[in-house]
């Protein structure tokens, strides 16, 4: 029954992580490594349960294998986050620096750290298996040796203490390295709580074994409780954050998408850069950009099913601002103006349609596209493209 419950709880966590992996709170943590952490967590609990059922000392060595992989996957996640902090615009002000970055950009990509994780897993798995097969039992869990004076017990408790110390030291190192970094999505708190859970759990197990009558049932029960706490922290917390920070991420524009004006203008940094370019041009193009933005917002609001009163109020605002007076000829042609004015007669009857401004939207887009084709030839666009490439690799 416990195994079935575990499969459901851990499986649900992995499925939700995959489904919401494009949200920033999950993508910054590296979704594949989050899943690796939680699978390691599940396999630790499975090892403890199977050991209780089968009563085989050999099975207990897998506790250490998956416990180490749990901590390694966490450290790799934070190593990637830390490496992202090494890059800022000041470091890419020369072609030489850009070339250096291009050669090492794999250090920002999740798949690089997944490969390291797989490598660690292979080395640890084979090494501990060989040690066990040649008759050295030091990596079996200490509670399998019931006599405290037994040589196996002494070596096993020493291994337990040493590995716990190494894990704590590794996590503490990342805590210090992240101390002065500004992180979102409760990343620091997650690391602090992870450290506290492991510290309390490991020390309680150690001291209760040394100074009290101890049994494996107590160890397994406490371990399962600790593992569920870690699952909530490493698995469900990022998923919860993806709902809480749901406005943070939609999609990440990449350099390959930047030549499409529509997609280009959906990115905040791209929009600002293009607006600055139009202002420097000194003509009426910046007003055309405002018209395009306002019309796109109107269509988006309608798609989100705003009520009739809000839609009517927005439609009148657009008409009065851009199409009612002859002065609008500054940024739309006369034939477009007449077509829109004709369709907007319905506003007098307190009605509106989604397509009533489409002629103006089409005109604005075509005019902006002409300017955009000029912009992509400028040095400013190339610099922006470099920044977007860096950002697209970080998340």
Concatenate the DSSP letters of all residues of 206-266 into one string.
HHHHHHS---HHHHHHHHHHHHHHHHIIIIIHHHHHHHHTTTT-S----GGGTT-HHHHTT
pLDDT per residue, tens digit, the chain (395 aa), is: 788 999 999 999 999 999 988 777 888 888 999 999 999 999 999 998 888 888 777 888 899 999 999 999 999 999 988 887 765 444 444 444 555 555 677 777 888 999 999 999 999 999 999 988 888 878 888 766 555 556 777 788 888 889 999 999 999 999 999 888 777 768 888 999 999 999 999 988 888 877 766 667 788 889 999 999 999 999 999 998 888 765 444 455 666 678 888 888 888 888 888 999 998 887 778 888 988 999 988 888 887 777 888 888 888 988 888 887 765 656 677 888 888 888 888 888 888 888 888 888 898 899 899 999 999 988 888 888 777 765 554 44
Q: How many whole angstroms from its chain centre is CA 310? A: 35
Q: Is-contact 68 163, C-beta < 8 A?
A: yes
Q: Is-contact 28 395, C-beta < 8 A?
A: yes
CA distances to 92, 314, 371 from 242, in Å: 31, 31, 37
Residue with tokens 């371990």, as numbered in its chain: 223
Q: Which residues contact 62 (CB under 8 A, 6 or more apart)?
A: 43, 47
Alpha-carbon torsion (198, 202, 205, 208), positive or negative: negative
Concatenate the DSSP letters of all residues of 37-97 into one string.
HHHHHHHHHHHHHHHHHH--GGGGHHHHHHHHHHHHHHHHHHHHHHHHTT--GGGGSSHHH
Distance in angstroms (rounded) separating the CA atoms of residues 58 and 65:
12
């Amino acid at each position: 029954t416990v195994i079935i419950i575990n499969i459901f709880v851990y499986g649900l966590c992995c499925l939700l992580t995959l489904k919401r992996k494009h949200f920033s709170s999950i993508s910054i943590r590296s979704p594949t490594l989050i899943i690796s952490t939680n699978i390691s967590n599940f396999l630790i609990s499975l090892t403890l349960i199977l050991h209780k059922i089968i009563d085989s000392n050999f099975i207990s060595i897998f506790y250490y294998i998956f416990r180490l992989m749990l901590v390694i996957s966490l450290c790799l996640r934070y190593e990637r986050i830390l490496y992202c902090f090494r890059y800022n615009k000041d470091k890419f002000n020369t072609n030489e620096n850009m070339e250096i970055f291009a050669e090492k950009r794999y250090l920002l990509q999740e798949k690089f750290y997944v490969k390291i994780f797989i490598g660690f897993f292979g080395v640890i798995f084979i090494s501990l298996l060989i040690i066990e097969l040649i008759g050295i039992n030091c990596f079996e869990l200490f509670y399998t040796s019931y006599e405290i004076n037994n040589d196996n017990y002494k070596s096993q408790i020493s291994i337990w203490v040493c590995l716990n110390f190494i894990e704590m030291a590794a996590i503490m190192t990342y805590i210090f390295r992240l101390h002065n970094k500004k992180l979102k999505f409760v990343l620091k708190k997650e690391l602090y709580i992870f450290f506290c859970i492991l510290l309390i759990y490991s020390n309680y197990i150690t001291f209760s074994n040394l100074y009290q009558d101890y049994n494996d049932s107590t160890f397994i029960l406490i371990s399962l409780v600790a593992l569920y706490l870690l699952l909530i922290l490493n698995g469900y917390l990022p998923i919860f954050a993806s709902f809480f920070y749901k406005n943070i991420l939609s999609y990440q524009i990449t350099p390959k998408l930047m030549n499409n004006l529509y997609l280009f203008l959906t990115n905040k940094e791209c929009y600002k850069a293009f607006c600055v370019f139009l202002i420097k041009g000194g003509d009426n193009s910046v007003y055309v950009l405002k018209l395009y933005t306002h019309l796109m917002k109107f269509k988006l609001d309608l798609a989100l099913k705003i009520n009739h009163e809000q839609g009517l109020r927005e439609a009148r605002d657009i008409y009065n601002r851009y199409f009612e007076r002859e002065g609008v000829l500054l940024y739309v042609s006369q034939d477009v103006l007449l077509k829109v004015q004709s369709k907007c007669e319905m506003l007098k009857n307190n009605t509106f349609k989604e397509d009533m401004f489409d002629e103006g939207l089409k005109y604005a887009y075509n005019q902006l596209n002409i300017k955009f084709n000029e912009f992509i030839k400028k040095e400013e666009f190339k610099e922006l493209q470099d920044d977007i490439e860096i950002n697209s690799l970080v998340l």
